[in-house]
Structure 1
Amino acid sequence: MDKRKLSTPTKICRYNSMCFRLNPLHFDEFRHPHLEAIIEKGISSITGEYDIPDDCQKDKVIDQLEILKSKLGNIRQPPEKMAKNSKSPDFAISKKTTNVVSIEPPKNQHQNSSSSQCVPSTSSSLQNKLDSTDYFKERAAIFKSKDSEEMKATTPTIGVKIDQNDERLEAAIRQYLPVVLPKGQMADKLKKASPYNMFLTTVSAAPETHSEALSVTFQELLDPSLGELECSVQFNFMVDIGWLLAQYIFAKCSSQPLLILYGEEEQTLRDINKKRSNVTSIKVNIPTPIGVHHTKMMLLFYKDKSMRVVVSTANLYEDDWNNRTQGLWISERLPALDEDVSYTSHGESVTKFREDLTRYLVCYNIPKLQPFIAKIRKTDFSSVNVFFVSSVPGTHRDSGKGIHFGHLRLASLLSEYSAPVDDSNPIILQASSIGSLGTSVAAYLGGEIASSFKRDSAPIGLRRVPKVKFIYPSLTNVLMSHDGIAGGGCLPYDGRTHAKQLWLNEHLYQWRASTRNRNHAMPHIKTYCRFSERGLYWFVLTSANVSRSAWGVLNKSNKTLNPSLRINSFEAGVVFFPRIILKKDRFPIHEMQQKDEDPIFKLPYDIPLVSYAKDDVPYCAEYLKDYLAKYGS
C-alpha cells in the first residue's frame, strides 16, 4: 500500500467486509475527557495499541486520537514506530472489524480446513508471489518509481482550515489533489466528447491519462465553465464527507446547499449538518437486509436555472478517483423551460429520460428530494440521447406499461431499439463484484440475465442463448496493478461464494485496457454490451454489479403470465443505442468500422477479449485480507 497515505490520520470503516481508509477534513471535534490520560499512558506493549477504558465511547475516542496523533507533539512514539510495534494488521489505532476474518492463502501450513474453500486455489507461481514479502517490496519500488513528484500529494488533516485566498487555495489544491488540470476548459472538453459524453476518471499513477480528451477529474465536474453552481445532490453508496467537501472547497462552491443520499453508515457523515448548515445528509434505508443504496449519481443545479446529470460508477472517496478505472456519463447543460410551458408536453427527450429519472427519484419517498424533483420537471431534457435504466428495492409487477426497473427494463429497451444481433455474438458483462449466481450458468446468468440481455428488435422466434463472457480481474491482474494487491480493494467478490459457483471460471476473461492506458488500474466500472466484427449494438454504463440484488430476480413461484421481479438495491445507469444517437444500427468501435465519419465509441477495455490462463483464478476479497493479516499494512 501507499506509505504516504498510511502516514496520514486514518480511520477504518467496513465496506463488504473490506478495510478502506477514510480521511475526514475540516471538522472541529470536541475533546473527550479521558483523552489526555489515554495518551499519557501510552501504547500498550502487549497489544501495540492505546488502551481505551471500557466505559468510554470507543469510536469517538479513536477518532479524536487520530486527530491528536497528527497534531500533538506529546505522543511518545512517532507514527512509524507505532506502526512497527503494533500487532494490528491494519493500523496502530484501529476500530475492531470483527466481521473481517483472517484466511491464510491456499496451501499455507497454518490454514485451517474450514477456510480452505473460501478462496480459489492458486498455481504454485501465484502462490509464491502471495507468500513472498520481497515480491511486494519489489512491486512497491516499481510503483514508487512511477510516481512523479507532482503526484506525491499529502492529505490535509482533520481540523485544517483551508484559506479561500486564491494563491493559498491553489497551493492547497496542488498539495492535496494528485491530478490538477487547468480550470475553465471542461465545457470545451464535454463539447468535443459529443455525442457520447462518456468519460473515464484519470489515473493518478498513469500520467498519460491526465491529458486524454476522454479522461476527467472530480474537480472538472465542478468547473466554472460548466455553470455557476447554485445547489447539488449527491447519490452514492460510500461517502468520505471530508474528501467530498474538500472538492467543493477547491471549486469555490462549498457554501452552496448540498444534499447527500448515501448507503454506508458513517458517523461523521451522519452528523455533518451540525458542522455545516448548508449540507444535509440522509441515509437511504433499504427494506431488505441484503440490499444497499448503490447508485452513484450527481444532480448539479446552476444559478441560471439550468442543470446537469452525471451518472457514475465511483464512490465519493479518494481511492475511487485515484488508481481505479471508473466511468461517467455527463449530460449536456439542460436549460429550464419557460414559465408558461407545460412540462407534461414539452422538454422531454426521445428517450423519456426525464420521466424515468423522476419516477426513480419519487421511489425514494424522501421529502428533501421533492424540490429537486420539481426543478427537474421544469427542465428541458430534449438534448439527452441516452436512456436512464435503474433498480429500486421492492417487488415490481407489470401494470400494463412494462416493468420500469431491473433487467426487465433493459430487456424492454433492447426489444425496441437494438438492431438484430446474431446469436453467435456473445453478451459481454464487466463488473467489479459478483453475487451468488446459483449452481450452474443456467440458474441465473445464462437464464434470466441472458434472456433479457439477448433481446433485440428482430421478430420473436426460436433463438439460441448467446454465450456469456465476463470480464473480471484475475489475481494476476490485481498483483500487477498500480497499487499491487491493494488494487483489489475495490473488488469485494467473496471467495466462499466463488467456491459454490466454479462453473463461472469457464466464462471469465482478463482485465485488459492498454488502449485506454488503464491496464494496471483495476476496474470499479460496470458495463454491459454486445458487439461483433461489424460494430457495437448497445452499451450500458451503470452502478449495477452482476447480482440478483442489483438486476432483480423473477418470482418463479408465481405461475401467472405476469411474474413479478424482486430487487434489493438502488442502482442507476444509462444505455447507449446507435439507432438513437447515430441513426445507425451499430457504433463503430475501431477505425475499420467507421463510415461517414461517425465518431468511434471507445470501449473501456481491449478487444479481442483475453481468457484466463490455465493457472489464473479470479481475485477474491480474502486475498487482501490474508495479506493484511500476514504482513500488516
Structure 2
Amino acid sequence: MLQEGAHGKWTVSSSDESTEENSDNEKPSTSSLLHAACGRASGPQYPCSEARKAAHKRKASPLKFSDKSFPAETRLAEKQRPSQEGLGWCLSSSDEEPEDQEKQAHKETVKEEKNDAPKEHPLNFHKDNELSENQKAEECCEAPSEAQDTWDLLNGGNPFRFFLTKVRGIKQNYNSGALHIKDILSPLFGTLLSSAQFNYCIDVEWLVRQYPQEFRKKPLLIVHGEKRESKAELLAQARPYENISFCQAKLDIAFGTHHTKMMLLLYEEGLRVVIHTSNLIAEDWHQKTQGVYLLGSTPGRYQGIDKEKWGHLRLRKLLKEHASSVPAQESWPVVGQFSSIGSMGVDESKWLCSEFQESLVATGSSVTTLLKYGVPIHLVYPTVDNVRQSLEGYPAGGSLPYSIQTAQKQLWLHSYFHKWSAEVSGRSHAMPHIKTYMRPSPDFQKIAWFLVTSANLSKAAWGALEKNGTQLMIRSYELGVLFLPSAFGLDKGYFHVKGKLLSESNDPATSFPVPYDLPPEQYGSKDRPWIWNIPYTNAPDTHGNMWVPS
C-alpha cells in the first residue's frame, strides 16, 4: 500500500494503523495471522507483530546488497523512493559514498565472522530449519552457566538483583554477571512445583525447552492478551502439552496489550518472582540486551485516589514519598530508553514535557518548582546505523516497531533522541529490547533513581490524563521495578554509576550497573531513528543484506 506525506511515498507493509494509539504496540493483525496459519513457511511459529514478521522474512530470504538482480519488491521500493533533499530523514542508512559503504561492510562482515555471528537462514525456510537454528543457539551460548557460578551470581555481590541477559556473538567476559532464561529456571534454586509466565509474545515450544527436563511436565500457567485467531494459534501451540493452561488478560480498551513480562516460580522451598523485559521467544534471549517493588500499569480509567495506583502517576507518587531531595537536583536531567514509541501528540506540551515529565522529576520537593527550570530530557533510541551495524543486522529492527505513520506526525520528538551505545559492556551491537528510565546528575556519575520496566515511551503504556486532569486512562498491562537509594539504606539520596566514569575502588554496593553508556550521545545531523516499515537499500548491514520490509 502506498502512503504519501511530508517524506514522500512509501511502501507500507504493516496494517497501516490509522489510530494513533495503535502505532506503538506490537499487536498482530488478523489478516497476518490468517496468512501465517495458511503458510507458516513465511513467518514465525507464534503470534507476533508485523515488524517481527518482516524480520523473520528477511532472515529467511535475505536481500544481498551486492545482488544487482533485485526482486520485484526491491525494485518497487527503489522506484518509489523520493529525493532525499529536504526530508526529515534519509532512506539510506548512511551518507557515505558507495565505495566507503562497501569497504565498511566488508570490515564489519569480517568482524562478525571472527565473533562467530550466526549463519544466514537458507532461502527455503521451514519449521525444521527454524528449530535447528534455535537449538544451535541454545547449544552455543544459551546453555545455563555452571551451577555454582549461577548460584554465586544470584546470591553474591549484586545487592540490586538487576541482571542483563546473555548475548551471543560478543566476548564471553562481557556476559559476566548476565543470565539466560535457563539460568533463571535452573533446578539449582529448588524443586519446582508449578510456574506462571506472564508475557506478550510467546513461543510455547521454545519456552518448554527452556525448563530443565525434570520440570517440563510441571503445571504451567500462561497469562496472555491474545484474542480470536491469535488466541486460537497460541492454544494450538500448547496442544501437545497437557500440563499447560491459559489465562486471558482482560483488555476492554481498544489497542491495549498485555505487555507485562513476569515469572512466578513456586518451589517446595518457596516462591520466586522474576520481573523482566523479554518476550518468551528465542530472538529476545539470543542477541538483545534485556533486563531481569514494583510499578505497573493496568487498563482502565481511574479517578480520585485510584489515579495514583498505576502508570506514570504511580511513579510520581512513589518518587514524592520515597525519593530523597539532593542539592541542586532541579538541574538533574531525566533519561528514557525504550524499544518502541507511541504517538506523543503534535508537540511536546501535549504529554511528554507536561504530565509525563512532571512524574519523572517528582521528589519530596514541589513539582512546579522543579519544572520551571526546564529539566532536560534525553531519549535513547537506536539510529538506523545502530541497527545496520548490529549483530543481527537490519532484522534486529523487527523488535523496534517505530512506524513511519507515527514518526512523520512528530518530527519534533527527534530532537530529543540519543544514540544507543553500550561499548563499555561490549553490548553496543546487541540491539536493546530493555526499557529503562532514570534521573542522573548533570555529570552522569550519580542516579537519584532507576526504573526497569516493560513500558515503552507511549501513552498507552504509561497512561494519559483526561477530563482536565481528573481521570487517568491506561490501555495496556505493564510491569517494572523501581530502584530507590533509600530502599538500600543509602542516606545520600543517590547511587553511583558503575562504568567507565568511575574508579574501580567504588563500593559495588552503591554503584548501579546502568546497561548503556553515559553520558548519552545526541543524534548527529546525519543520524536518523530506526523506522521499521521503510526500505534501506543504500548500505549493507553486517551480513551484507538490505532491508525491504514488504
Indicate whether the TM-score tops 0.5: yes
Of 387, 393, 400, the residue aligned with 1:491 is 400
Q: Does 1:216 find its partner at 2:182?
A: no
Equivalences for residues 403-552 of structure 1 within 5 A: 403-421=308-326, 422-458=329-365, 462-463=369-370, 464=372, 465-532=374-441, 533=443, 535-552=446-463
Contact 2:266–2:272, Cα closer than 8 Å, also in 1: yes
Distance 1:575 1:516 in 2: 22
> Which residue matches 1:319?
283
> Which residue matches 2:155?
191
Unaligned runs of 5+ in 1: 1-12, 21-56, 68-87, 93-101, 163-170, 329-386
Distance 1:123 1:241 in 2: 37
Unaligned runs of 5+ in 2: 1-13, 27-33, 45-56, 62-71
CA spacing shift, 1:321–1:105, aligned 2, 3 Å = farther
Which one scores higher on RCO, CA 8 angstroms, separation ≥ 6?
2
How far off is 1:179 after superposition?
Answer: 4.7
Q: Deviations over 1:590-611 (max 9, x none)?
A: 4459777643111011112111
Distance 2:398 2:130 in 1: 28
- Opposite residue 241 of structure 1, the aligned amino acid is V
How far off is 1:417 after superposition?
Answer: 1.2
How far off is 1:498 after superposition?
Answer: 1.3
Contact 1:530–1:539, Cα closer than 8 Å, also in 2: yes
Fraction of identical pairs, as percent? 30
How far off is 1:211 after superposition?
Answer: 4.6
RMSD: 4.2
- Opposite residue 301 of structure 2, the aligned amino acid is T
How far off is 1:476 after superposition?
Answer: 1.3
> Which residue matches 1:587?
495
How far off is 1:441 after superposition?
Answer: 1.4
SS of equivalent residue, structure 1 residue 216? coil
Q: Deviations over 1:360-397 (max 9, x none)?
A: xxxxxxxxxxxxxxxxxxxxxxxxxxx21000001012
SS of equivalent residue, structure 1 residue 569? coil
How far off is 1:117 after superposition?
Answer: 11
Distance 1:554 1:104 in 2: 43
Distance 2:74 2:120 in 1: 33
- Opposite residue 428 of structure 2, the aligned amino acid is N
Is the radius of gyration larger for structure 1 or structure 2?
Answer: 1
- Opposite residue 315 of structure 2, the aligned amino acid is L
Q: Does 1:302 find its partner at 2:267?
A: yes
Contact 2:88–2:411, Cα closer than 8 Å, also in 1: no
Distance 2:42 2:549 in 1: 20
How far off is 1:120 after superposition?
Answer: 2.9
Equivalences for residues 82-97 of structure 1 within 5 A: none
Distance 1:428 1:551 in 2: 15
> Which residue matches 1:252?
214
TM-score, structure 2 length as denominator? 0.76
- Opposite residue 415 of structure 1, the aligned amino acid is K
Q: Deviations over 1:320-355 (max 9, x none)?
A: 011111011xxxxxxxxxxxxxxxxxxxxxxxxxxx
> Which residue matches 1:619?
530
SS of equivalent residue, structure 1 residue 246? helix
How far off is 1:65 after superposition?
Answer: 11
How far off is 1:129 after superposition?
Answer: 7.1
Contact 1:118–1:495, Cα closer than 8 Å, also in 2: no
TM-score, structure 1 length as denominator? 0.67
> Which residue matches 2:80?
111
Distance 1:417 1:630 in 2: 46
SS of equivalent residue, structure 1 residue 622? coil
Contact 1:103–1:625, Cα closer than 8 Å, also in 2: no
CA spacing shift, 1:143–1:17, aligned 2, 3 Å = farther
Contact 1:198–1:327, Cα closer than 8 Å, also in 2: yes
How far off is 1:429 after superposition?
Answer: 0.6
How far off is 1:282 after superposition?
Answer: 3.3
Comparing 460-469 with 531-540, greater Cα deviation is found at 460-469
Distance 1:109 1:597 in 2: 52
Q: Deviations over 1:263-319 (max 9, x none)?
A: 353644212453211001334342122111111111111023x11111111100011
Of 304, 309, 312, the residue aligned with 1:398 is 304
How far off is 1:190 after superposition?
Answer: 0.6
Equivalences for residues 133-212 of structure 1 within 5 A: 139-147=108-116, 175=139, 178-209=142-173, 211-212=175-176
CA spacing shift, 1:103–1:60, aligned 2, 3 Å = closer
CA spacing shift, 1:266–1:17, aligned 2, 3 Å = farther
Distance 2:334 2:415 in 1: 14
CA spacing shift, 1:623–1:147, aligned 2, 3 Å = farther
Distance 2:427 2:283 in 1: 15
CA spacing shift, 1:317–1:395, aligned 2, 3 Å = same
Contact 1:272–1:279, Cα closer than 8 Å, also in 2: no
Give the number of aligned pairs.
481
Distance 2:415 2:41 in 1: 49
Q: Deviations over 1:205-243 (max 9, x none)?
A: 113356502x11110001122111110000100001111
Contact 2:198–2:222, Cα closer than 8 Å, also in 1: yes
SS of equivalent residue, structure 1 residue 327? coil
Q: Deviations over 1:501-524 (max 9, x none)?
A: 111122111111112211111111
Distance 1:523 1:598 in 2: 25
> Which residue matches 1:281?
246
